[in-house]
Chains A and B, each alone.
With several copies, the nearest count.
Chain A
Amino acid sequence: MRVVTGVVGNDVHVVANRLIEISLKERGFDVYNLGVNTYLEEFLDALIETDAELLLISSLNGEAEGWCRNLKALKSKYNFRSNPLFVIGGNLGVGEMDPDALIPKFKAYGFDLVYHQKDLNESLDEVEEVLKQRIEV
């Protein structure tokens, strides 16, 4: 299974990104890590190039919303063969946010799974579960 990952926008928090790469590799993924400071277009281009089944975006510096609100419009311009799962996680709001408000917001932007201040490993377990179900269906 292929996964494209990285940190979106003007965000240089690289530590989680390094650990996520390690975790995904340990879970048997083929990892394409675009690193920090990656724009939405670059992620979508990479999905096209790699045919990855999973896009796993991090955002830590609180600016996710500004960078992701156009995802739906952008998606419509691409033609994905693999119907990838769109996942975002990390610290998705500036300041302390109500997670119940954040999650529907990012889903409306076009993400399938949204993890705000969640444990990495538990979340990845869930992501894998959803991927498995998708394939079975």
Chain B
Amino acid sequence: MSIFQREREIITRNEFVDNFDFIEIEEFIKSADKNLFISHHFKYSNKMLVQPRGGFPTYEKVFKLYEEFLQAGVDVLPLTIDSNTRLNDYATAGKMLALSEEDDVDMLNGYPLINHGYRTTRKMMTHFNKPVSLRHGTPDARLLVEMALASGIFEIEGGPITYLLPYSKNFPLDKAFLYWKYVEKLCALYSTYNEPINRESFGPLSATLQPPVIVIVIQLIEMLLSLEEGVKSFSVSFSQSGSMIQDIVTANVLMKMAHRYATEFGYGDADIHLVYHQWMGAFPYNKEYSDALITASTVIASMVKADKIITKTRNEAFGIPTKEANARAVASVQYTLKTLKGLPVVKDEEEEEHLETMVKDIMEAVFNDSADTLWRKVFNSIKNGIIEIPFSPHIINANEVITARDPDGNIRIYERGKLPISDRCFEYEKSQIKIEKGSSVVEKIIKDIGIML
């Protein structure tokens, strides 16, 4: 038995897991319907795929949610995991699930997949026969991903950085890298059985004034770490910034660099897709404005030529959306995609060059770290602030970079911290930010966070 298989045996055996049958799972994946694989749809569909977010504690509620989504014309189903499971606290998740089942009140903000198990969950996935995307935010997702793949969920979101820096306070970063290496290996292994398993990075990060350069660097790194382990289908992603042109520039640079680095590192055969997240920051408390925000965001997703869009709902500011609100957003986004025609191809060569230069500067600095493997170089780079994300709750994050918006809504770097970007680039960035006289930077930032309110 390989070391990896030995590790798998250990991971999948604990008091919350009921007998993991690897042979049966392999058989299942080998004979699974192609429709369950998003990688298959990416290949053959010529429209932007629409995927909502959503998850409820109980099986029945998720089932009803999926029925509602299907009626609304969904392309990709989501399975969002609750926060306790994300933190591997299966005991609490189990307790809350029991309470939710008893009282018909949701005591969890997502689906506790471990507690439900793959045998139960797979019934639902094969019943609906749609590609499903696992959304979690878990630094140690080894068991979760085993469970997901065994259930017929063939897209796995996340990554060692994107599911750690925004989602955790003190989970050790080096552990996260190793745990995700396991996930990548697993996805690579299962990709050899049937259509490839798709891995997707989580570009929105903390969804709060994230500068594109950081988003892109992190997307590229997680892509490379994944392709290194043999993954063949990967989605880079980012979320609406608040400026249409910045989104376009980000998409153009991100896709260009993703292809370039993939080829350079010898993974030219992998498929790379672009995912756009509708506005991930604070939503307005007015549902009609939220509808408008969702549509405007759909138009921008079309401008950036995303392969998949992940939707929000008119309930975002209030709480976990009802299934009706969620399905409504899907139907509305599909309507907009269907009726929106004649999209121009937009470029901004100067801004793209500027952004590309900054991305290269940081990537170079990472590659130049003296460690032996890519993940260790990245680990060191985060530790010493060469990479950091604004508004991360994590203790390892440098918290020195400060960003704010220019008058066009573009997110610019106000303090660069230890980001290794050139003085020229930094001066350009900083000079774009205009702070009104008599106003403080903090006031400006609060306004810039609440740009959609």
Which residues of A are at the interface with B, using a C-beta cutoff of 8 A?
A: 9-12, 14-15, 17-19, 22, 35-37, 61-63, 65-66, 91, 93-97, 117
Contacts and interface: CB of A to CB of B under 8 A. Distances in A.
A10 B87 contact: yes
B199 interface: no
Contact of B393 (A12, A19, A91): A12
A11 B449 contact: no
B319 A63 contact: no
A14 B319 contact: no
A18 B286 CA distance: 24
A22 B87 contact: no
Given A95-B321, A117-B285, A36 B108 contact: no
Interface string B279-302: 000100100000000000000000
Interface residues of B, number: 34
Contact of A12 (B89, B167, B315): B167
Nearest to B321: A95
A31 B48 CA distance: 45
B168 interface: yes
A36 B106 contact: no
Interface string B410-453: 00000000000000000000000000000000100010010000
Contact of A94 (B89, B107, B167, B442): B107
B84 to A, nearest CB: 6
B96 A66 contact: yes
Contact of A36 (B169, B208, B320): B169
B117 interface: no
Contacts of B317: 117
A36 B393 contact: yes
A90 to B, nearest CB: 11
A27 to B, nearest CB: 14
Given A14-B206, A14-B393, A19-B446, A61 B318 contact: no
B87 A96 contact: no
Which of A12, A14, A66, A97 counts the most B-chain CB atoms under 10 A from its CB?
A12
Nearest to B87: A10
A10 B319 contact: no
Nearest to B166: A12
B210 to A, nearest CB: 12
B109 A61 contact: yes
Interface string B291-333: 0000000000000000000000001011111100000000000
By Cβ-Cβ distance, the 9 closest A-B pairs, closest first, are A14-B393, A37-B169, A36-B393, A10-B83, A95-B319, A95-B320, A94-B106, A62-B109, A96-B318
A117 B87 CA distance: 26
A66 B83 CA distance: 12
Contacts of A36: 169, 393
A93 B391 contact: no
Given A10-B89, A12-B393, A14-B391, A94 B206 contact: no
Given A94-B106, A95-B106, A97-B319, A15 B391 contact: yes
B86 interface: yes
A19 B208 CA distance: 12
A38 B106 CA distance: 22
B219 interface: no
A35 B391 CA distance: 12
Given A63-B109, A66-B96, A93-B319, 8 more contacts: A12-B166, A15-B208, A65-B107, A94-B319, A94-B320, A95-B106, A95-B319, A96-B322
B266 to A, nearest CB: 36
Interface string B379-395: 00000000000011100
Nearest to A94: B106
B393 to A, nearest CB: 4
Contacts of A15: 206, 208, 282, 391, 449
Contacts of A35: 169, 393
Nearest to B109: A62
Contacts of A91: 318-319
Interface centre among A10, A17, A63 (most CB of B within 10 A): A10
9 contacts: A10-B83, A10-B87, A12-B166, A35-B393, A37-B168, A66-B96, A95-B315, A95-B318, A117-B317
Nearest to A17: B393
A4 B160 CA distance: 32
Max chain B Cβ within 10 angstroms of own Cβ: one of A22, A91, A95, A117: A95
A91 B285 CA distance: 12
Contacts of B282: 15
A62 B86 contact: no
A10 B95 CA distance: 15
A60 B170 CA distance: 19
B141 to A, nearest CB: 15
A134 B89 CA distance: 40
A42 B391 CA distance: 22
Contacts of B83: 9-11, 61, 63
B9 to A, nearest CB: 28
Given A35-B169, A63-B109, A96-B315, A10 B84 contact: yes
Contacts of A66: 92, 96, 99, 107
B291 to A, nearest CB: 16
A9 to B, nearest CB: 8
Nearest to A13: B393
